[in-house]
Amino acid sequence: MKPQPLPQASASLLCLFLLTACVDDSSQTRVDLGTTMAEREFEWNIPAHYPLPLVPADNPVSEAKFQLGRRLFYDKRLSGNQTTACASCHLQPLAFTDGLAHAKGSTGMIHPRSSQALVNVAYNASVNWGNPSTVTLEQQAAVPLFAEFPVELGINDANQDEVLARFQTDAHYVLWFNEVFPNQTNPITFENIIKALATFGRGLNSFNSAYDRYERGETFAISEAAKRGMNLFFDERTECFHCHDGFNFSLSTYDRSQLVADKIFFNNGLYNINGTGAYPEGGQGIFEITGKPEDMGRFRPPTLRNIALTAPYMHDGSLASLEQVVRHYAAGGRNISSGAYAGDGRSNPYKSAFVRQFEITESEIQDLVAFLNTLTDESFITNPRFADPWKP
């Protein structure tokens, strides 16, 4: 079977299209993406009292498409050199992150940022650490496939036909793609691969933690220390909830009940190189997109669901533990006294007003950590529905 070329030229052009389509110039609202109200019949793993995420009209969810995306997610043949799968940097036992400070691509290139956990990503108002233009999972899926700086899966103009041929000559994939995209003559294309991967990501939802059971009325689902920590988390003294609020523990949440999405990004005082407000190159937040000085160091607040599984923390994995994270915020930022990144993040001129010093005792730190541990959903990290389908 002859490999199908990418529609309208190269992979890089497709990537550019996916990164820029359907986005307005505002940093606060998403334009109408042409979405459909998803039905409950799909196995969302979302409680009935929570709103469903929006789904693009041109990529409706189905079980067959979810399972195709799952197979592709775990298939190393989707990388240029067949050494790396999406799952290589997104491990289910670690809430679909990799436990590293910096992700490593298929060619060995190190990413300047940490792999994001894939937890409830269908709800994200923006889906990168720091790019307000990437607002759908379809746009995001193109990035690891075709990115060159850094290389992730390493598909490029030179090998794209070869990569597609691996699937076009596989009788199982021919069957699966034809089932999911029945009205297409040659359905094994990168566009459809992206749609399937996005659908798998859209189904990775987690709402069965000890905290959730406590909220449903199981009084003893969490410890007394965790209850004290929960009160601290939602207290004005610590300000935690201002950035990590709502059912997804992130202000950067968008669902079918909202008319517009606030694309929220915060500078949390992690760096202040030489007292200029600067962050290290490759980790400068949405400043890398907008070029606005006030956007230096501003990143999307991730969900805190399953946060105990996703160390190390921050966009660059520079904090090793939840205790260090709590101490960072209690100090109002991080002071780096020496080295290339020396500077007092507590005085960063672009730091969010929510990140301010507060008094906290050692026992209260442990209480806060105990509460964050209650956000772990064991059923999510052991659910066979999300596991590697290629393993016995």
Please state the length of the chain.
Answer: 392
Q: How far apart are CA 339 and CA 102, in angstroms?
A: 20
User: What pLDDT was estimated at residue 263?
Assistant: 82
Q: Which of 305, 303, 315, 345 is nearest to 328 (CA)?
A: 345
The residues, any chain, with a CB within 8 Å of residue 175's CB and separated by 6 or more, are none
Which pTM does this prediction carry? Answer: 0.91
User: What pLDDT was estimated at residue 35?
Assistant: 57
List the chain residues with pLDDT less than 50.
1-33
User: What pLDDT was estimated at residue 157?
Assistant: 96
Q: How far apart are CA 103 and CA 96, in angstroms?
A: 12
Q: What is the DSSP letter of 294?
A: G
Q: Hey, what domains does the chain have and what are their CATH numbers?
A: 11-205 (1.10.760.10), 210-379 (1.10.760.10)
The predicted-structure confidence for 229-264, as pLDDT tens digits, reads as follows: 999 999 999 999 999 999 999 999 999 888 888 789
DSSP string, 314-380: STT--B-SHHHHHHHHHTTS-EE-SSTT-EEGGG-TT--TT-------HHHHHHHHHHHHTT--HHH
The predicted-structure confidence for 344-376, as pLDDT tens digits, reads as follows: 999 999 999 999 999 999 999 999 999 999 999
Return the structure tokens found at 131.
């790019």
